[in-house]
Structure 1
Amino acid sequence: MKKKVVFLALGYPNVAKSTILYTDLMQEFGAQGHDVLVVAPAYETGNYGCRVEGKVKVLRVKTLPLFKVGAIKKGIANLLLPYQYKRAIKKNGDLDFDLVILPTPPITLFSVASWLKAKTKAKTYLILRDIFPQNAIDLKMMKEDGLLHRYFRKQELKLYQLADTIGCMSKANVTYVQEHNPTLDRSKLHLLPNWEKIPAPVSKDGIQEVSAKLGISDKFMAIFGGNLGKPQQLENIVRLAQSCKDIDDIFFLILGSGTESERVRHMIAKENLSNIKLVDRVPKKEYVQILAAADVGLISLHEEFTIPNFPSKVLTYFGLKKPVLASLDLSTDFGQMLEETKSGLWSQAGDIEAFKGNLLWLYNNRKQAIEMGQNGYSYMKSHLTPEKAYTTIMENI
């Protein structure tokens, strides 16, 4: 049965310019014949209102800046978001929905989902990708049991209670939510791994062109791509590069932007490292071309995490058949997935010697590294596509 679906988004680019896992998922819903309305911030002044983007309608809402601003401004913007979304939805005139889907972050959209559910009796599906506020506690960005923590924790519990079904990105996430929310109906929880469309292969000429442009044609390149924030603990990658500075043909590339960009730039300059380069975020198509030229995809998670994170950037690595080298906290089961799928190597965050040892194994065993990349690609095709995520959601609502 085809449904009228509303998706409450925080970050949702125009698919004509860029894609993320949520655009991929909503385009799949549209392709399956559902009537989809995405509610999302407008990224350009004056670019407000409802329009068709790809196979879905997108209602662009005027908000305060949500990204690349200080914590106070970001907090105020997120607190105002529910009121701005409700006003825009009312003005749009469509309050007839069968299914409300919302991801975390942010949990502040709870009130919008609650309002829509009361108005329409729609089912509510929560895509749990950020266990907040505990992640902020882990990173010491919020005081445990402080006023903000108590407020957001209450919002989190309300969100779990509101949801008819909750998709968690790993088995460890399911277990964590169960153990830390004992009053929650456990039948709501199920596994919904991250997903992404498999990128089109990049030609050999394209790879050679990118390699020449970056000056790494004769290098073994390890790349980290994505958000550059505290959760990624990027000093581990800089320290790995420092430990390898005497190996002439190993090169590191950090590609992206975020709150830690300047600190990473400063670390590289302070150590006078010539074997690592920081490049600002580029469009997805260009990112795929650069990643295609790499030999290894890097993952780094903060060692202080007590919640089990599952980095979505691995999807593009898998899609381009890159073996994965990860530095991980001990709460995640991401390393277990790498072991089970034979798609990469991991070590404990902060253990640079082990991190380097795994890198050198991939460097010295190119054939086995290529096989790891192929294993990741095969696993993605079977388990980590938008089609698979769509099927999982529909089966569980």
Structure 2
Amino acid sequence: MNILFLTISRIQDIDSRDIYTDLIRKFRNEGHLVYVVTPYERQFGLQTALTESKGVYILGVRTLNLQKTNIIEKGIGTILLETQFNKAIKKHLNSVTFDLILYSTPPITFTNVVKNLKKKNPQAISYLLLKDIFPQNAVDLGMFSKNSLFYWYFRKKETHLYRHSDYIGCMSPANVEFVIRHNTFIPPERVEVAPNSIELSPSPFSSDKTKIRKKYHLPKDKLVFIYGGNLGKPQGISFLIQCLNVNKQRNDCHFLIVGNGTEYPKLKSWFDNTKPQNISLFSGLPKEEYDELVQSCDIGLIFLDYRFQIPNYPSRLLSYLKYKMPIIAATDVNTDIGTIAEKNGYGYWCESNSTAHFTECINKFIQYPESIKKMGEKGYQFLLNNYLIENTYQKIIAHIKV
């Protein structure tokens, strides 16, 4: 089949490892011809162009900056995406007939792109990989209200995108329930769980944990709790700082924070002023170095802002499970990432408005260190059963097999 994948993720190297490139390679390896449309943000100085990389065609579209930029440019750039993508597809891919149109949120402004592609390819199946429920998440974080023009505009875009999607793949059961409950015009049979998933590398485990810890100046004889990933408003960094502050005097464990984002300066300022002895803070690392660092730790941490009414499901969970690490999920009450972890025995959940509850979760691992390996194995098995790329591929392909 000819498959088109629309994304705002910057995709250049098909062999890089993340939830999207893993899926692209899976389709390619199964014999399909894949075309990817990805932004070339102006900060990189690239012009719109169609290239081929290892059996995959990549159409890079010059856009405004969409990531690591101010909110005004990001907003304008997001609105302009439809026009820019439509123009580039018409110019470079007009002669291609597509059988499957895949696209992910964010953003929700692909509506007219999908509509035009469906009109030109009436036989094609359109499949939305729903990774972000916008604009409700912006309302939850107080960025604008439901009475604003921003909400009206983006909510209209969201509902139109759902209407033009033959199927919607959600990250978890709570996501499926949320989408159906808040969008009653969608037939429930069109919404399903198609979770974040990865391809396991051939040798995911390092044999020298001590050497890695020495390299990053981590204690070799204490439990290390790691938070890795984006440090932005959705992660509730103020609560993360509160949790670290409450536990900064401990000498029975170590906390490691690795990442970057809009809230990183706030965390860095607290770290520099407090100078905690049992906490390490690194800005973002290359993926290979980050993976090396993660597997030297013991327990993975997940944080989400308590105000969320939408059920987020962060993909950083996958790297923890891949390296057989149990988790602590400090989140709002609407996501099911923590309850799924507890139900399946690979982690603990606490609400992200109680440092006492978070500390209780820390103490469980300190008091019962023998449980860590067992819980990590359960998490790894859950990954094998639910979060491998094969699972998501089969969910999508089942709708278009003849």
Shorter-normalised TM range = over 0.9
Single out whichever of 293-302 and 189-198 deviates more from structure 2: 189-198
Tell me the equivalent position of 1:266: 269
Query: Matched residue of 2:398: which SS?
Result: helix
What are the within-5 Å matches in structure 2 for residues 297-336 of structure 1?
297-336=300-339
Tell me the equivalent position of 1:15: 13
Tell me the equivalent position of 2:343: 340
Query: Matched residue of 2:334: which SS?
Result: coil
Displacement of 1:244: 2.0
Query: Matched residue of 1:42: which SS?
Result: strand
Displacement of 1:252: 1.2
Displacement of 1:249: 4.0
Displacement of 1:55: 4.0
Contact preservation (8 Å) 1:13, 1:20:
no
What are the within-5 Å matches in structure 2 for residues 15-94 of structure 1?
15=13, 18-42=16-40, 44-46=44-46, 48-94=48-94
Q: Structure 2 counterpart of 1:115, which letter?
A: N
Tell me the equivalent position of 1:100: 101
What CA distance in whole angstroms lies between the structure 2 residues aligned with 1:244 and 1:139? 26
Displacement of 1:266: 1.5
What CA distance in whole angstroms lies between the structure 2 residues aligned with 1:65 and 1:18? 22
Tell me the equivalent position of 1:160: 162
Contact preservation (8 Å) 1:221, 1:296:
yes
Query: Matched residue of 1:155: which SS?
Result: helix
Residues 111-166 of structure 1 show CA distances to partners (whole Å, capped at 9, x for unaligned) of 11111111111211011111100000000112222101001001111011100011
Q: How many percent of aligned residue pairs carry the same amino acid?
A: 36
Displacement of 1:218: 3.1
**Ranges in structure 2 where 5+ consecutive residues have no aligned partner:** none
Tell me the equivalent position of 2:186: 184
Query: Matched residue of 1:62: which SS?
Result: strand
What CA distance in whole angstroms lies between the structure 1 residues aligned with 2:48 and 2:300? 37
Contact preservation (8 Å) 1:9, 1:40:
yes
Displacement of 1:388: 1.0
Contact preservation (8 Å) 2:82, 2:110:
yes
Tell me the equivalent position of 1:111: 112
Q: Structure 2 counterpart of 1:98, which letter?
A: D
What CA distance in whole angstroms lies between the structure 2 residues aligned with 1:277 and 1:174? 37
Tell me the equivalent position of 1:231: 234
Q: Structure 2 counterpart of 1:357, which letter?
A: E
Contact preservation (8 Å) 1:244, 1:250:
no
Contact preservation (8 Å) 1:325, 1:345:
yes
1:388–1:12: structure 2 CA closer, same or farther, 3 Å change rule? farther
Tell me the equivalent position of 1:175: 177
4+ long deviations beyond 6 Å: none
State the TM-score, normalizing by the size of structure 2: 0.94
RMSD: 1.6
Query: Matched residue of 1:251: which SS?
Result: strand
What CA distance in whole angstroms lies between the structure 1 residues aligned with 2:189 and 2:254? 47
What are the within-5 Å matches in structure 2 for residues 350-365 of structure 1?
350-365=353-368
Contact preservation (8 Å) 2:14, 2:25:
no
Displacement of 1:367: 1.7
Contact preservation (8 Å) 2:14, 2:21:
no
What CA distance in whole angstroms lies between the structure 2 residues aligned with 1:13 and 1:275? 37
Query: Matched residue of 1:102: which SS?
Result: strand
Displacement of 1:18: 3.5
Contact preservation (8 Å) 1:27, 1:54:
no
What CA distance in whole angstroms lies between the structure 1 residues aligned with 2:379 and 2:135? 31
What CA distance in whole angstroms lies between the structure 1 residues aligned with 2:345 and 2:137? 28
1:16–1:151: structure 2 CA closer, same or farther, 3 Å change rule? closer
Query: Matched residue of 1:231: which SS?
Result: helix
Residues 54-112 of structure 1 show CA distances to partners (whole Å, capped at 9, x for unaligned) of 44211111111111111111001111111111221122134411111111110011111
Displacement of 1:291: 0.1
Contact preservation (8 Å) 2:339, 2:349:
no
Query: Matched residue of 1:145: which SS?
Result: coil
Query: Matched residue of 1:325: which SS?
Result: strand
Residues 343-385 of structure 1 show CA distances to partners (whole Å, capped at 9, x for unaligned) of 1011111111111111121122222111111111001011101
Contact preservation (8 Å) 1:327, 1:355:
yes
**Ranges in structure 1 where 5+ consecutive residues have no aligned partner:** none
Size of the aligned set, in residue pairs, is: 394
